[in-house]
Amino acid sequence: MGTTQTPEQVDGNITPFQPRGWLRGGHVQTMASFLLQRGIHLPAPEERLIEVEPGIKVLCHCNWQADRTRALTVIVVHGLEGSSDSQYMLGVADKALAAGMNVIRYNQRNCGGTDDLAPVLYHSGLSGDVAAVAREVIARDGVSRLALVGFSMGGNIVLKLAGEWGAQAPPQFRAVAACCPALDLAASAHALHEPSNRIYEAYFLWQLRRRLAQKARHFPGHFDVTRLRGVRSLREFDDKVTAFYSGFTGVDDYYDRASAAHVVERIAVPALVLHAANDPFVKITPDTRSKILSNKNITFVEAADGGHCAFVGTPVEPRNGSGVRDDGYWAEREIVKFLSQF
């Protein structure tokens, strides 16, 4: 059986999450992680455009160790309307580099300033794009060990890929970790539309509207911005825009086929899933929770607090000789600690 751990029942490898000072509660944590500027400075990365489908490329920012073939290579995937420069992407990259890992910060299609590359949109089901990046670095860079990390939407994508690969994964694939993964897309979209979460939904819709307008400017005649008329929720956007332009029959088809919930039971490598019980809008259904717990390869850690991809905590001294850099961002630290085993 998989394991689920609360802050009171955490194993010796996981430090319980303790919120920083007065930063307690799902909304407070979520907003704090968005508003607090962290001043993270990484070494200049290698920028690499990688073709994931014919004519479709994604931008990756790669930081390599001196011997890239022997170090664990970590591909990190951001969430909805994020990029390789999102704070959590920089934070986990900083810790992983200090721990001796190669880090590839992956921009999903259109993200990181790449709207002009192809007349396509990104969505939560594009696990094949990450697989293409993995194949590229295995073949081109000769990496011997590979891990995947994802946040929110990116967490769904990396768990989906791990489940799709199952026992047939590349031999270099060693582990996967996800923070607040949106495994049940329909349930999370419904939660996002609740009155208490409208501020988040409004932000996402504002960003997504801007993106569609930008795509229409780059590819006139391909995208119709009038499809945005009457859109008042993320679900409506995904029905009228995402599903329409991405080959799904509608929003229900999109949410069903893109959700990693269908394949988590097939994950065949060690996996760490971090979740906050008070995440405002990413919800895990009982059925999906049961699938997670039935998989002996998955360690599921649910903290009482932490919000959405936040977990802004108090810095602690490294334990068990891990030496992982700690600035109080619990999820980033625990993910890198977990990956250090491989």
Show the tokens assigned to 103: 């880090």
Q: What is the pTM of this model?
A: 0.94
Classify 269 in phi/psi space as left (phi over 0), alpha (psi -120 to 50) or beta. Answer: beta
So what's the pLDDT on residue 319? 54
DSSP E strands in 127-270: the ranges are: 145-151, 173-179
Residue-wise pLDDT for 73-102, tens only, equals: 999 999 999 999 999 999 999 999 999 999
175 beta partners: 147
Tell me the C-alpha distance between 283 and 53, whole Å.
Answer: 31
Average pLDDT for 22-32: 97
Average pLDDT for 146-154: 98
Minimal CA–CA distance to 42: which of 4, 92, 81, 3?
A: 92
Element (DSSP H or E) covering residue 4: strand 3-5
So what's the pLDDT on residue 314? 86
| C-alpha triplet 114, 117, 122: angle, nearest 5° | 70
- Are the CB atoms for 268 and 163 separated by under 8 Å? no
- Asked if the model's pLDDT at residue 4 lies above 50, the reply is no
Domain 3-184+263-339 of CATH type 3.40.50.1820: yes
Minimal CA–CA distance to 324: which of 336, 339, 315?
A: 336
So what's the pLDDT on residue 121? 98
Length of the chain: 342
More confident of the two residues 7 and 176: 176
So what's the pLDDT on residue 8? 39
So what's the pLDDT on residue 10? 43
- Are the CB atoms for 150 and 160 separated by under 8 Å? no
Percent of the chain with pLDDT over 90: 91
The secondary structure of 295-311 as a DSSP string is -TTEEEEEESS-TTTT-
Domain boundary assignment for the chain: 3-184+263-339, 197-258
- Asked if the model's pLDDT at residue 316 lies above 90, the reply is no
Show the tokens assigned to 121: 């949109």
* R_g of the chain computed on alpha carbons: 19
Mean of pLDDT over the chain: 94
Average pLDDT for 286-309: 98
Estimate the crossing angle of helix 127-141 against helix 153-165, to 10 degrees.
Answer: 70
Tell me the C-alpha distance between 46 and 64, whole Å.
Answer: 8
More confident of the two residues 325 and 263: 263
How confident is residue 325, by pLDDT bands cut at 50, 70 and 90?
confident
Q: Are strands 173-179 and 271-276 parallel, antiparallel or unpaired?
A: parallel
Average pLDDT for 269-282: 98
**Backbone phi, psi, residue 299, to 5°:** -100, 115
Residue type, 329: Y
More confident of the two residues 323 and 121: 121
Residues contacting residue 8 through CB under 8 Å, at least 6 positions apart: 16
19 beta partners: 313
First-to-final CA distance of the chain: 21
Tell me the C-alpha distance between 135 and 132, whole Å.
Answer: 5
So what's the pLDDT on residue 94? 97
Q: Are strands 271-276 and 298-303 parallel, antiparallel or unpaired?
A: parallel
- Compute the Cα dihedral for 229, 235, 239, 243 and give only its sign: positive
**Residue found under tokens 């992982």:** 324
75 beta partners: 104, 148
The beta-carbon contacts of 36-44 under 8 Å, at least 24 apart in sequence, are 36/87, 36/312, 37/87, 38/87, 38/90, 38/91, 38/327, 40/87, 40/90, 40/91, 40/94, 42/90, 42/93, 42/94, 42/97, 43/97
So what's the pLDDT on residue 318? 56
Could you tell me where the DSSP H helices lie in the chain? 26-35, 87-98, 127-141, 153-165, 185-192, 198-218, 234-237, 243-245, 251-258, 286-294, 330-339
So what's the pLDDT on residue 13? 79
How confident is residue 323, by pLDDT bands cut at 50, 70 and 90?
low
So what's the pLDDT on residue 315? 79
**Backbone phi, psi, residue 32, to 5°:** -65, -40
Residue-wise pLDDT for 217-238, tens only, equals: 999 999 999 999 999 999 999 9
Tell me the C-alpha distance between 97 and 75, whole Å.
Answer: 12
Average pLDDT for 141-152: 98
Residue-wise pLDDT for 160-214, tens only, equals: 999 999 999 999 999 999 999 999 999 999 999 999 999 999 999 999 999 999 9
How confident is residue 326, by pLDDT bands cut at 50, 70 and 90?
confident
